[in-house]
Amino acid sequence: MARERIDSSGKVAWISLVQFVRATVLVAAVDAAGVMIGAAILDVPFVLAIGVLVFLGAFVPLIGATIAGTVAVLVALVDQGPITALIMLAVIIGVQQLEGHVLQPFLLGRWVSLHPLGVIVALACGVLVAGIVGALVAVPLAAAVNAVVLHLAELAQMPVEEAVDELEDEVIDV
């Protein structure tokens, strides 16, 4: 019985990590596309490089894409002046608002079932323990732990016979 619970918990954690990565890649792609479209409309040079930088920066939770987007603002400032740089800054802020208020809560809330406060607490703990690397690892780790705890709590609520049947069905499905 314990072996089946551990096995099913591992599968649940893996599924949660895969869903987290999918959601993060989708959010990063939307961030990069939004910034690239804004930069292309404003005729800022190095649009593709800026997009790749924003895409990679989006993997650092909360601040990564914004910090990477400041490169686009600096390039716009140097190439075309302060007005274009301010417009580029508005594009960056708009894309971040879309990410923070629509995409992140919708995708992470639906696919990973992790509360936004849980994300913030996990990030704070990760930064305190291991700096930037801790921030990168904290949220997926919190998502996996959350999924396992919810799974085990669900199994604990079931009668023993029903839990055994549930676990055996999971073993057969694999």
Residue 105 has pLDDT above 80, yes or no: no
CA dihedral sign, ordered 158, 162, 167, 173: negative
Residue 168: what pLDDT? 64
Return the closest-CA partner of residue 71 out of 35, 96, 116.
35
What pLDDT band is residue 63 in, cutting at 50, 70 and 90? confident
Residue 152 exposed, middle or buried by CB count within 10 Å (0-12, 13-18, 19+): middle
Contact of 60 with 132, CB cutoff 8 Å: yes
Write out pLDDT tens, residues 160-174.
Answer: 667 666 656 655 554
Q: Given phi > 0 = left and psi -120 to 50 = alpha, else beta, which region is 43?
A: left
What distance in Å separates the CA atoms of residue 147 and residue 10, rounded to the nearest whole number?
10
Residue 49: what pLDDT? 96
Percent of the chain with pLDDT over 70: 91
The average pLDDT across 146-171 equals: 74
Put simply, whether the predicted model's pTM sits higher than 0.85 gets the answer: no
